[in-house]
Every structure is written in structure tokens, then in C-alpha cells.
Amino acid sequence: MNNFLDECRSAIGANHVLTDDADTAAYLTDWRRRFTGKALAVVKPASADEVAAIVRLCNEFQIPVVPQGGNTGLVLGSVPDDSGSAIVLSLTRLNRIRAIDLVNNTMTVEAGCILEHIQNAASESGRLFPLSLAAEGSCTIGGNLATNAGGTGVLRYGNARDLCLGLEVVTPQGELWSGLRGLRKDNTGYDLRDLFIGAEGSLGIITAAVLKLFPQPKARLTALATMQTADDALQLLSIAQTQCGAALTGFELMSDFCLQLVSKHFPQMQLPFPQHHPQYVLLELSDNESEEHAMAMLENVITSALEEDVIQDAVVAASIAQSKSLWNLREHIPLAQAEEGKNIKHDVSVPISCIGDFIRETDILLQKDFPACRMVTFGHLGDGNLHYNISPPENASDQAFIARQEDVNLVVHDSVHRFGGSISAEHGLGALKRDEICRYKSDIEMNLMRSIKRALDPMNLMNPGKVL
């Protein structure tokens, strides 16, 4: 192994091959601090060519590679196992914005660029890059693409896959494929780009991407509405889509218990209503005409929903600060959960029309098998993605409840499957759901995936033990 590490040092510089425990610790523990792996080294190349050189060395010495961006994943996809046989290949030094083309509305960025930096660069150029999620201040675009990240703007703009036109990828053999084409139409064979997006680094390492940019909206308005049930929220979604069309860019469902947790652990954040309601929807309009036009649409939506008894109350943010405070309620739900204690997370999707039935039926099943468990249900209602999380009963042992995670997962994921859904909507499979997915995908589907893996990575060096 010393020969391998010496070759890595020669390829990218000794300072960027980390082996001391103090230097590698941050790269080996997952975001939720539930698991810590081991690695032969953490290797930090600064260019696509250096990534390719490292991968070629890994081929020569048969060393597994775990690609890592911001290490903000939730399914153990970006940390090594506990064998200590793999290297962690950190892409954080590949952090340049290579080009912005305002006529083509594209930006070419390296994989280690922080998502928030990309958003800011687009804004400074008078454009919008709409991918937005809670970890945007620390996650990287390479990781976003490797997991096909979703976030709050999927309803209007789509997942990360929909926001990417081209890729640069280092193959498992250490070859550098440059597919950085800013084309919206390119019908010249298999779509290799889509093969690598969402593959979690198991088929190759994304080193750069061409991203879509959009015009900055002239107005962005936010409202928070209250209602009795998730079915009412679906009715509100229908009203908003009918009246606003593509201007509806955000539609987030939050249960009352979610916001009670936020108020409990972040008392400076309080709901703008005098009393609690069972469900809340945070909706956002982005309008390219004017603020007056956007406000008229939003007022019509609220008026219609009140007249049809779909919602009970609503507030509209009157300033950017008020809008941020409403979004902060939504974004602080995961943080409040963490403050409350350990919980069992589920990132699921079901057909939008089934969301009310799914929540109602699955809640009953869980209360039957795990009495007094507390449901922390929130998510991107407009695209069918729920973060259907479960906290232990109040004053119960966190550890005892977490010990039953497999039983809880079985109830939830079997219910998701009955409704024709997916057990991973935007977080990926990683190592956490790698085995469980076999319960829900057909043998044909799994065998096709394994065939692709064997064809591209016959030595199984790319993020082994993840996805498959």
C-alpha cells in the first residue's frame, strides 16, 4: 500500500493525500453521525486530470474508490465501509466556475462547487439556478448530480437531472469523458449523461457539469396557509396550479407537529396564526411579469380556497424578510427533529393523488405496531415527495426505538410499495437502502442495473457496496 500512496503523492502532491486520523476524521463519518468508516487515505485532487490519474492508480493497485463531495448525504453513500481498504476521493478542490454563457443560459462548473456559490454566481449574472435544498451551504453540485437531488423547486424546474445539459466524467478505467455540451437537443445515441446522474458514483466520477440557468423572476411571493387534512392540501395544489400554472414554484406540506417542534427548539420562530391547525402549506409564486401580477394571482388562489372551505386561514409575506421567516419554519424542521432526539427518516414518493390516503393509512399501521410514535410528516407535496419521519413516543428511549428501525421501515416501505411509490425519492440508496431495494424492484430491473455496473466497472472499484 505504501507504493500506492507514494504514487498518489507524486500525482497530486503529498499535502493532498491525507492519512493521519486527525486529518481524515471529518471525511469518514456520515452527515447524521450514525456511522464512521475507515479509509486507506483521503485523496484530494485539484483537477479532472488529477482525478483520472488517481483512478488509474486505483485500477493498477485494485483500490476501491469512494467519491465524496460535501458529505451531506443521508444514506451512507459518500463514506467508506469499515474495512479500511478504500480511499475517499474528495472533490472539494475542484471548485471553479469555468464559464457562464448568458445567451445560451448555461453555466459550466466543477463538481466541488458549493451549491450556494453556484446560486450566487447565477444571481450576480442576472440569472437563476433554481436547485435549492437545506444543505445548499455545504453540499456540492457533484453530489447533487450523483444523487439526482430534488429540493423545493422540483415542482417548477425539476430534479438535478433536469437542470443538467452535459457532464465531464472520469470512467472506472481512469479515462476522461468530456460531454460538456450545452445542448438542449442531442439525439445521437445513448444518453450517457443520464446514466451517471443518480448513480451515486458507482459508475464513474462526475468532475464537471453544464447547468441550465433561467431568467430571474421579477417577483417572488410566499404564503402560508392552514387546513385540516392532506387531502385539503391537494385541493389547494389543484387550485394553485389551475390559476397560476408555471408561476407556482414551491408547494411544501408541513404537519402541525413539525412546526410545534420548530417552535419548541427555536422559540424565536413562531407561527403567524393565533391557534394551531392540523396541516400547513407553504406556497411560492415566481412571476416574470410584475409583483402586482403575482399578488393578484396569489390573492385569487387564497380567495378561491377560502370560499371552497379548502383552507381556514392564510398569511402572505409582505417583505423579503417575512418570506425568509416563513421558509425558515420549513427549513428548520430537520434541525428541530435532531434537537428532539433520534428519529427514523423516510424519503419516499407516491403518486400525488395518493398522498392523503398514504399518510392516513400508514399512520394507522404505525400506531398499531408502535403505539404513541410521533409522526413528523413534511415534504414537497407538488412532486409527491414526503419526508415521512417518525420520532419515538414522548419520554421513551431513543435507543430502544431506533433498535426497531428495520421493523418501522418495513411497515412504511411496504405501504409505499402498495401505493406504487418509491422508497427513495431524492436521497438515493447508498449503503443504507442497498439491500432493501431488492424487496421492491423486480429481478429484471435489478439484473439490468447489475449488468450496467459490470459493463462499466468490471473490477467493482467505484463506490463498492453502494446502490448494488
Question: What predicted TM-score, i.e. pTM, was given to this entire model?
Answer: 0.93
Q: Which of 429, 415, 414, 409 is nearest to 355 (CA)?
A: 415
In the sheet that holds 347-349, the strands lie side by side as 313-316, 219-227, 279-287, 248-255, 374-380, 385-391, 347-349
Give how far the C-alpha of residue 410 lies from the chain's centroid of Cα atoms, to the nearest Å: 22
CB within 8 Å of 320: residues ≥ 6 apart: none
Any idea which fold 219-334 has?
Alpha-Beta Plaits (3.30.70)
From CA 121, how far away is CA 13, in angstroms rounded? 30
- Say what the pLDDT of residue 2 is: 83
pLDDT per position in the chain (468 positions), as tens? 789 999 999 999 999 999 999 999 999 999 988 899 999 999 999 999 999 999 999 999 999 999 999 999 999 999 999 999 999 999 999 999 999 999 999 999 999 999 999 999 999 999 999 999 989 999 999 999 999 999 999 999 999 999 999 999 999 999 999 999 999 999 999 999 999 999 999 999 999 999 999 999 999 999 999 999 999 999 999 999 999 999 999 999 999 999 999 999 999 998 999 999 999 999 999 999 999 999 999 999 999 999 999 999 999 998 888 999 999 999 999 999 999 999 999 999 999 999 999 999 999 999 999 999 999 999 999 999 999 999 999 988 989 999 999 999 999 999 999 999 999 999 999 999 999 999 999 999 999 999 999 999 999 999 999 999
The dotted CATH code for 97-215 is 3.30.465.10
Residue 73 and residue 147 in contact, taking contact as beta carbons nearer than 8 Å: yes
From CA 427, how far away is CA 129, in angstroms rounded? 20
CB within 8 Å of 92: residues ≥ 6 apart: 44, 69, 70, 112, 140
Spans of all domains in the chain: 2-90, 97-215, 219-334, 341-433
- Say what the pLDDT of residue 34 is: 84
- How would DSSP label each residue in 175-221? -EEEE----S---SSS-HHHHHTTSTTSS-EEEEEEEE-EEPPSEEE
The dotted CATH code for 341-433 is 3.30.70.2740
Phi, psi (degrees; rounded to nearest 5) at 190: -60, 145
CB within 8 Å of 294: residues ≥ 6 apart: 219, 220, 221, 247, 285, 286, 287
| The three three-digit cell numbers of residue 289, written as one number | 411579469
* Total residue length of the chain: 468
For residue 363, the surrounding DSSP H or E stretch is: helix 355-369
The dotted CATH code for 2-90 is 3.30.43.10
Q: Within 13 Å, how many C-alpha atoms sit on residue 371's CB side?
A: 0
From CA 148, how far away is CA 75, in angstroms rounded? 13
Identical fold for domains 97-215 and 219-334, yes or no, is: no
